[in-house]
Chains A and B, each alone.
Chain A
C-alpha cells in the first residue's frame, strides 16, 4: 500500500465531519472519491495532506505512519480553486511552486520544462496566467502540484468548470502520471470521470464510507447487474404476460439479468399479446444509479 488512512475521525465542535474513514491506494492506482456536497470529501483530503489534524486515526505512507503535520514530501496536492499566482507567467508559477516543494537548480529547470510540455503550454510559458483560458489555468494548477514528482497526487475537483476538451487533456495528463507509477486520488462530482477514468471508487456520505470498489463491485453490491429495458409500443395494450405496463398501456419497463436470454423472451411476449414494438432501450447499470441509490435524491445544501 502506498497510502493508507486508518479510522480518520474529525470533529468541528459539535459536528463530526468524518466518522472513522479508512481507505488505501496502491501505486499507479486512480481512485475517485465521490460524495454529495458536505459529505466530508474535502475534509478527508485535508487530513491526508496534513492540513487538518484528525481527532482520531492516522495516515500511513509506504508503511510509515505520518505525523499529523509535515512529512508529506511524497504527496502532491492540487486544490479545487486556482491556487496559482495570476500575475506571474506560467513558467514563473511553476518555478515558484517547484521551489516551495524543495526542487532546485538544474532539476527544477528540467521539471519546469517537462511540466510546460506536459501541460501543452510551452508556447505560452512567458504569458501571464491571468490571460489564460479556464482550461489552461487548470493545467497550470495541476502542474504546480507535481513538480516534485509526488508518489501520491491528491486532486480536489481538478476539472470543475472546464470544457470537455480541456477535461480530456487533463485526464490524459493524469493517466501519464499514473503510468509512471504515481497514485492518483481525486474528488469529483463528474460521475462519468470516476466511472471511465478511475480504477476504483469510494463513495463517502455523512462522513462515512458508503461503498468502495470497482464500478462492477459497486453495482453488484447495490443495484445489481440487471439491465433496465424500456419498450415503446405503437398501440396501447391491455396486458403483457409477466411484465407490468405503463398506465397508458403504450410502454413497459423491465429488469433483465441476461440480455441475450431475456430480451428475446420479452419481445416474444409482446408479440404474443398482439403488440407492435416502436423502440427498445437497454440501460446498463451506471454509477449515477449507484450513487443515487447510496446517497438518496435529497438535496444536500
Chain B
C-alpha cells in the first residue's frame, strides 16, 4: 500500500512536468546566481574592488605618493578626480568628492586636505577625510587599512629619498669641512636635524597607536570618517531592505492577482465578458488598475511599518515616495499582465513567475545588496525592475537626493510599464477571437 502511494505520487509528478521543472530548475538557477555573486570574492579569499575617488587638495609629493599607492591597490577601483594644478585652478573640492558618494558613483571618496603634509610635522596633524557610503559597512574599514599601508609605504619611500639627500649633504659638508667650509664650525650637527629629514622608521599603523607615545612624525595616519548618509537618521539602512523586500513581494502579488485572467479563461468568465460590451483593452486596463491599487497599498503598508517600527522617514519624502511607488507598481503590474497573457494555465504562470521573480530579485538586489556583486552582475541587475526601484528608493531615503534625481528611475520604470502593457495587449489578442 505504501509503495502504491509512492507510485501514485511519482506518476502524478511525471504527468506534471512543470512542477518537476520548478523543483529541479529553481535551485539550480539560484545556486548559479549566488555563485556568480560570490564567486572569486568571499569563497576565493578575495574581495570585490571598492569604487574609490581621490581628491588631492594638498598637492604634495607625499600626498600624491599616498593616493597613487591607494589607487594601485587590488582592493581599489580608482576614480581619480583631477589634482590641483595651480593657484588659478582650484581643482576638485570636498563637495565634489562628497557628491560622487551621494550619487552612488563611488563607495568612498578620499580627500587630502590642504596643508596635510606640513601638518604631519606638528602635534595636531590634519586627518585624511574618508567620505563613505555606510550602506556598505565593510568598505570604509578596508579602505582605512589600505590607507595605513599606503601611508607607511609612502613615508618609507620619502624617508629613503630624504636619507639619500642627507647622506649627499653630509658628504658635501664633510668635503667643505675638509676644505675649511662653514660646517666645520658646528661639529655637533647630525643628519636627523637636517630639514626635511624624516624619522628613521615608521612603525605599522596597528602598533603605533598601541605601544608607546610617539612624536607626531611617527604617529599612524589620522583618518576621519565622514558618514554622509547615516547621520541624523534613526535607522537608515532599513530603507534599503524595505525597498528590496517590497518590490519582490509586489511582483509576487501582482503576478498572483494577474492569474485571475487565466482562472477566468478556464471557467469561461472571460468568454462571457468578451460577449458583453467590455473590450479586451478595457478589461486589461481594469486589471492593471486593480493590480496597481493593491500594489500601492502593499508598498504603502510596508513603508508605513518601516516608518513606525524602524524610523524610516517616509513622510518627509512623501512626494518622491509616491512617484517611485506609482512607477514601480505600474511596471510590476504590466509585467504581471504580460506573464498572465503569455501563459496557458495557472500552473504555468506559477512556475514561470516564481523563476522569473526570484531571479530578478536576486540580480536586482532584493536579496543581496548589489554593491556586493561584481560590476558585470551589477550591470546585469539593471535589467530588472528591482534594481531600478531599489535605486530610486535609496536615492530618496538613503542618499537624500532631491526629487529631480529620480528622473532615470521614473523614466525606466514608467517606460517599462507602458511598453509591457502594450505587449500584454498584443498577447491578449488570443483571448479576443479565434
Contact = CB atoms under 8 A, between A and B. Distances in A.
Contacts of A50: 275
Chain A at the B interface: SS class: loop
Contacts of A53: 433-434
A253 B269 CA distance: 51
Nearest to B278: A100
Interface string A82-104: 11110000000000010011100
Interface in A61-116: 68-69, 72-73, 75, 77-85, 97, 100-102
B375 interface: no
A79 B266 CA distance: 11
B275 A81 contact: no
A140 to B, nearest CB: 12
A97 B272 contact: yes
B410 to A, nearest CB: 34
A46 B270 CA distance: 13
Contact of B271 (A51, A84, A97): A51
Contacts of A79: 268-269, 271-272
Contacts of A81: 266-269
A78 B272 CA distance: 7
A183 interface: no
Chain B interface bracket (under 10, 10 to 19, 20 to 34, 35 or more): 10 to 19
B277 interface: yes
A220 interface: no
A50 B277 CA distance: 12
B431 to A, nearest CB: 10
B207 interface: no
Interface string B272-298: 111111100000000000000000000
Given A97-B276, A100-B276, A102-B277, A83 B271 contact: yes
Interface in A124-152: 144-145
Given A51-B433, A53-B433, A82-B267, A145 B277 contact: no
A83 B434 contact: no
Given A51-B274, A100-B276, A83 B433 contact: no
Contacts of B277: 73, 100-102
A46 B268 CA distance: 12
Interface residues of A, number: 27
A145 B276 CA distance: 9
A83 B276 contact: no
B149 to A, nearest CB: 66
B268 to A, nearest CB: 4
A208 B269 CA distance: 28
Contacts of B278: 100
Nearest to A144: B272
Contacts of A77: 271-272, 275
B268 A80 contact: yes
A23 interface: no
Which of B266, B275, B434 is packed against the most chain A CB atoms within 10 Å?
A: B275
A102 B276 CA distance: 8
Given A81-B268, A82-B267, A72 B434 contact: no
B69 to A, nearest CB: 68
Contacts of A12: 434
A51 B270 CA distance: 11
A232 B148 CA distance: 116
A42 to B, nearest CB: 10
A68 B433 CA distance: 10
A75 B434 contact: no
Contacts of B267: 81-83
Contacts of A211: none
A10 to B, nearest CB: 9
| Nearest 6 interchain pairs by C-beta | A79-B268, A100-B276, A81-B268, A83-B269, A83-B272, A83-B268
Interface of B: 264, 266-269, 271-278, 432-434
10 contacts: A51-B274, A51-B433, A51-B434, A69-B432, A69-B433, A77-B271, A77-B272, A84-B269, A101-B277, A144-B272
Interface of A: 12, 46, 49-53, 68-69, 72-73, 75, 77-85, 97, 100-102, 144-145
Given A80-B268, A81-B266, A83-B271, 11 more contacts: A50-B275, A52-B433, A52-B434, A77-B275, A78-B272, A81-B269, A83-B267, A83-B269, A83-B272, A97-B276, A102-B277
